[in-house]
Structure 1
Amino acid sequence: MTTEFNPDRPADLGPLYRAEAWRRLGAEQFDIVVVGGGVVGVGAALDAATRGLRVALVEARDIAAGTSSRSSKMFHGGLRYLEQLEFGLVREALKERELSLRLLAPHLVKPLPFLYPLTQRVWERPYVAAGLFLYDQMGGAKSVPGQRHVTRSGALRVAPALKRDSLIGGIRYYDTVVDDARHTLTVARTAANYGAVIRTSTQVVGFLREADRVMGVRVRDSENGEVTEVRAHCVINAAGVWTDEVQALSRQRGHFRVRASKGVHIVVPRDRIVSETAIILRTANSVLFVIPWETHWIIGTTDSDWDLDLAHPAATHADIDYILDRVNQVLVTPLTHDDIEGVYAGLRPLLAGEDDQTSKLSREHAVARVAPGLVSIAGGKYTTYRVMAAAAVDACNDFIPTRVAPSITERVPLVGADGYFALINQCEHLGQRYGLHPYRIRRLLNRYGSLIDEVLAYAADDPSLLRPLEAAPQYLRVEVLYAAIDEAALHLEDVLARRTRIAIEYSHRGVGCAQEVADLLAPVLGWTAEDVAFEVDTYRARVEAEVASQQQPDDASADALRAAAPEARPEILEPVPVPR
């Protein structure tokens, strides 16, 4: 391990980088400072950096700590938006999906076959086929096959878990699956690789102003309470569901408001549903996805208003019952609460509208120049993050004194993408080199891509790091070390919930390996024995609060339990609530 910051490895967001980033935030003049470490925020940092701009990004908690780690894990075109006549959004999303599959992130975004079960005779097959034909023609069938019609028997051959009387036939088509938190982190590391200053646990607590002009932000370290000022020609508010709260700090009236919609997902073992394909089911208000996730299935989602704690949305017993009731209508062997190994709830930042049903609100995004030197962006969907990011940076052009080049991120692969396809063909060779099963190599390649050598290099002097975690054997011990040295993880929660997905993939929700992971992190992060105990106790309290909240009948009671759990970041400040 290095003892000082290495400028030749700017994508390594470890403790040494973090210290240097704090110095730079207070010392340099930036063209743009981005507020928010979700996918749109890190996308904006990457977009600005690759245009040659001086850019910094600050995030109060962790990269992807909010919405961007709690999605349906799909990088998709939005098939259901065709029914809402949002053709432009679907075409745009499909273009982005194709870019990521083929060039930008092939190590992270993977093709995924879907089955659309048909339940109505005569009209439904041509109706859905017409929609899928449009989907394919708009770009949905470039790197993946187009739609294929199957009979009821054909559908049951690929998805035997479905009741025979729950469908009359089906249509197969393709979309994609992605680990959203890892993808967002990879965008952030790519931005850093091109010169962006990325700093987590750095909360905006005020704006710098000269007359009516915004000149930067005042930030507070969420770990130790230190404060500094970051000067920039333009500030981009990309805070997602916190957009209104950040906006309020500027004392400027926003041009739009953000409405939070809660989406809940459950995670069950792979053997509980026998199917070779993902499944999409229509519900009264929206759709339900059944998505393969390595050794599990992810099933969701709900779509309901949320006006409580934005940092820790809570799933209720009613939310879980809703998902189980809907999916059990079509399954031969019903799922029960005992089958559930993970649950997570996220908030979609929707543009506020007049329709009371959040499922009907547009997923289009909006960009506004709120004041001289302040741009806000909100809405949209995960898949179109790159387009949103480019639009936000474009809106800053008039506030930056130098000429701003056009966006080029559609030609900039994320770190780990280069060489990925060749490495996948070398799994046997790589396995022999590192003494790992080719299955393990393939899994590492699909998490880190061509950075795999960087990850495994830390085990060169300590082969024990190549052992799996005892209570989470999908992950190697070296991945925990890498998360702290290179991936900006500062707390146990960061590793168990986002750098890995142990928090939703194991029935112990991460508690079973908390001590082992904390012991691995301690030397890198400089933790004392008391720090280790605090991290383990805090994480256990988080899990206990989440499990208890999931037994509650309504949002208010679930939120009260979840919000009472301690924060891992000791100096984080709760934003002043904004009436919604």
Structure 2
Amino acid sequence: MTIPALNPTQRARDLEAVTEETFDILVIGGGVTGAGAALDAATRGLSVAIVEAQDWASGTSSRSSRLIHGGLRYLYNLDFALVAEALAERGRLLTKLAPHLVKAQPFLWPLKQRVIERAYSAVGVGLYDVLAVAGAGGRKTVPIQKHLSKQGAKERFTDVRDDALIGAIEFYDARVDDSRMVINLVRSAVRHGARALSRAQVVGFVQDAGGRVGGATVKDLESGEEFTIKARAVINATGVWTETTQAYAKTTKGLKVLASKGIHIVVPRERINARSGMFLRTEKSVLFIIPWRHYWVIGTTDTAWHEQLKHPVPTAADIDYLLDHANAVLSANLTRDDVIGTYAGLRPLLQPVGHDEAKSAKVSREHTTLEAAPGLVVIAGGKYTTYRVMAADAVDVALGKVRAKELPSITKDVPLLGADGFDAFARRAASLGAEYALTSEQVEDLLDRYGSELPALFALIDEDPSLGQRLEACPWYLRAEVAFACLYEGALHLEDILIQRIRLNSTTPDRGASAVDEVAQIAAPLLGWDDERTASEKANYTARAAAELAAQEQPNDAAASQARIEATDVTPSSL
């Protein structure tokens, strides 16, 4: 089975190609918006290059709440258009674009008052359902709300405190493997002709005498060499690095963003007895308790961040905040000992002049796209769920009104890799799983990660049966998944595998450190590492894991940030 590959061979080929061509669009930033823009442009028939300074999805796009949602809380701000747009996108992702990666997920909204709260909450959730059906052309893509008594709520969420509710409303949103979504977007763009380079940092723009941007100077962080990529238009989709990147251009226009930190904790699945997730409003933000097969994700916070942008980290106070608010409704009484993982991300929120940072949760998630200089388009804001709309807007602005009308976006009808024929393939999965001695639970896990690309994973096992074994450090994953990450998903370093692909960094107590020997043994021959390089990769990741664990014990952002940057980056950059 031939499928689009991101790997060292592809990277070397694209590295040579980008110095020889002049592209219609150069996208800077390999998060969900940048990856979406690359796919959008490529499917319009444009020539496209995309560069990312770190690994694909290594910034905000791998540190989200792992939800695809309409933003129920935005209805309280009367952001009807934003919610409607997000719900329409949720429907597309669930049914056509990425049904393998995006799954419907029920949540309980606990009620404390019998009449008034249930009534206005029912109206809000009812409007949410109406907007979702309207956005899907009259079809239901998830079940509509259901009103539950106290007993009914406890049947779905056994570990809820008796005094936490008198009943509940069950509503649906969706969950997503956020980093894998981005990687699939990049691979899908490559499938349609895009050139893609990770670990390639923009360090300047090419501008003519009139100030028009015609490309960028890029540093290959793997080799240290610099080169130029020429392009007729450049899209800056660098999130919290928006101001840093646009400052390379000689312009007085641009966007200003506020970096708002959101943290999450991870606890074992067996620690909370429930079949549904839970949604709570707090004094600062909202709190989701989100079920995954092997664990729960609990978050988030929303606080201004003033430290280095590359490695945001939770503090001890952040973790205690989430535990306290979760325990306000949980009879499970979670403690720090239950926390098996943490992660933090930075939301790039558009910052109005005179904005009060203490109220960052109230900044709208709506995005803004503008031409900061001739040929340079900047996009920031928005939310993960609406990445496709943001991407289309950025490409439209880059093309200009006339050409954008001639070449409209078609990504609402373009399934991502793994989505093609997913429903039909899923019906055959059980028989395929039996052939490889996999349990039904393992097959379902693999389908949720690879969709209809699963035969390519099985082909690796056919070539090397040892890859069919589970990882000793974490039986949630097969050894073949490490190989797939190296051969098809663009992993260049040990940390790329353990953070964005085999996600042990955020879901195991040692942040995946116990897996380094086994994972490196599989990755080394596939990525061409000698013994010295292998040892260096292992040492680097082990130091990173230790620094992250030290950071989360610190009392404040400054101390946590300092503890984290004690570990040297695997590819040093100026970010």
TM-score range, shorter-chain basis?
over 0.9
| Paired-residue identity, % | 50
**Residue 370 (str. 1) matches residue 372 (str. 2):** yes
3-state SS of 1:220 partner: strand
Distance 2:504 2:256 in 1: 34
**1:295 Cα shift?**
0.8
**Residue 319 (str. 1) matches residue 318 (str. 2):** yes
Superposed counterparts of 1:433-472, under 5 Å: 433-472=435-474
3-state SS of 2:217 partner: strand
What residue is the counterpart of 1:87 in the other structure?
80
What residue is the counterpart of 1:351 in the other structure?
350
Structure-1-length-normalised TM-score: 0.96
What residue is the counterpart of 1:484 in the other structure?
486
2:391 to 378, 389, 393: 389
Superposed counterparts of 1:231-246, under 5 Å: 231-246=230-245
Q: Encode CA deviations 1:1-24: one digit per residue, 9 max, x unaligned.
A: xxxxxxx95720111100001001
3-state SS of 1:208 partner: strand
Paired letter, 1:242: W
2:7 to 7, 10, 14: 14
Q: Which runs of no fewer than 5 residues in structure 1 stay unpaired? A: 1-7, 576-580
**1:250 Cα shift?**
1.5
2:165 to 164, 167, 174: 167
**1:142 Cα shift?**
1.5
What residue is the counterpart of 2:153 in the other structure?
155
What residue is the counterpart of 2:122 in the other structure?
129
How has the CA–CA distance of structure 1 residues 402 and 66 changed in structure 2, closer, same or farther, with 3 Å as cutoff? Answer: closer
What residue is the counterpart of 1:511 in the other structure?
513
Paired letter, 2:547: A
3-state SS of 2:158 partner: coil
What residue is the counterpart of 1:247 in the other structure?
246
**1:287 Cα shift?**
1.1
**1:435 Cα shift?**
3.0
Assess if the C-alpha contact under 8 Å between 1:9 and 1:193 holds in 2. Answer: no
What residue is the counterpart of 1:57 in the other structure?
50
What residue is the counterpart of 1:265 in the other structure?
264
What residue is the counterpart of 1:552 in the other structure?
554
**Residue 286 (str. 1) matches residue 279 (str. 2):** no
**Residue 541 (str. 1) matches residue 543 (str. 2):** yes
What residue is the counterpart of 1:47 in the other structure?
40
- Paired residues, what number? 566
Distance 1:9 1:64 in 2: 24
Distance 2:178 2:251 in 1: 32
What residue is the counterpart of 2:214 in the other structure?
215
What residue is the counterpart of 2:136 in the other structure?
none
Paired letter, 1:173: F
Distance 1:87 1:328 in 2: 32
What residue is the counterpart of 1:202 in the other structure?
200
Distance 2:415 2:222 in 1: 33
**Residue 301 (str. 1) matches residue 300 (str. 2):** yes
Assess if the C-alpha contact under 8 Å between 1:234 and 1:399 holds in 2. Answer: no
3-state SS of 2:110 partner: strand
Please tell me the root mean square deviation across aligned C-alpha atoms, in Å.
1.5
Paired letter, 1:391: D
Q: Encode CA deviations 1:444-490: one digit per residue, 9 max, x unaligned.
A: 11101111111121121210110011011111111101101111000
Paired letter, 1:46: L
What residue is the counterpart of 2:131 in the other structure?
138
Distance 1:10 1:294 in 2: 28
Distance 2:452 2:464 in 1: 22
Distance 1:291 1:121 in 2: 25
Distance 1:160 1:399 in 2: 55
3-state SS of 1:126 partner: helix
Q: Encode CA deviations 1:395-454: one digit per residue, 9 max, x unaligned.
A: 011399898510000000001101211222222211133332232222111101111111
Q: Encode CA deviations 1:203-239: one digit per residue, 9 max, x unaligned.
A: 1011011111100001011111011100000000000
Structure-2-length-normalised TM-score: 0.96
What residue is the counterpart of 1:500 in the other structure?
502
3-state SS of 2:68 partner: coil
Q: Encode CA deviations 1:326-381: one digit per residue, 9 max, x unaligned.
A: 01111112100000000000000100122431100000000011111000000000
Distance 1:144 1:488 in 2: 33
Distance 1:406 1:394 in 2: 8
Q: Encode CA deviations 1:19-49: one digit per residue, 9 max, x unaligned.
A: 0010011000100000000000000000000
Distance 1:459 1:148 in 2: 44
Moved more, 439-448 or 166-175: 439-448
Paired letter, 2:204: G
How has the CA–CA distance of structure 1 residues 358 and 223 changed in structure 2, closer, same or farther, with 3 Å as cutoff? Answer: same
Distance 1:506 1:402 in 2: 46
How has the CA–CA distance of structure 1 residues 343 and 566 changed in structure 2, closer, same or farther, with 3 Å as cutoff? Answer: same
3-state SS of 1:503 partner: coil
What residue is the counterpart of 1:342 in the other structure?
341
What residue is the counterpart of 2:191 in the other structure?
193
What residue is the counterpart of 2:24 in the other structure?
31
Paired letter, 1:160: T
Distance 1:10 1:445 in 2: 16
What residue is the counterpart of 1:333 in the other structure?
332
Distance 2:337 2:58 in 1: 27
What residue is the counterpart of 2:565 in the other structure?
563
3-state SS of 1:504 partner: coil
3-state SS of 1:539 partner: helix
2:97 to 104, 117, 130: 104
**Residue 419 (str. 1) matches residue 409 (str. 2):** no
Distance 2:440 2:342 in 1: 30
Moved more, 403-412 or 479-488: 403-412
**1:130 Cα shift?**
0.7
**Residue 73 (str. 1) matches residue 75 (str. 2):** no
3-state SS of 1:425 partner: helix
**1:555 Cα shift?**
0.4
Assess if the C-alpha contact under 8 Å between 1:107 and 1:417 holds in 2. Answer: yes
Distance 1:136 1:325 in 2: 31
Distance 2:511 2:421 in 1: 34
Paired letter, 1:369: E
Distance 1:148 1:573 in 2: 51
What residue is the counterpart of 1:184 in the other structure?
182
**1:88 Cα shift?**
0.5
**1:294 Cα shift?**
1.3
Distance 1:564 1:120 in 2: 50
Q: Encode CA deviations 1:530-561: one digit per residue, 9 max, x unaligned.
A: 11111111111111111111111000000001
How has the CA–CA distance of structure 1 residues 401 and 380 changed in structure 2, closer, same or farther, with 3 Å as cutoff? Answer: closer
What residue is the counterpart of 1:578 in the other structure?
none
What residue is the counterpart of 1:4 in the other structure?
none
Paired letter, 2:122: A
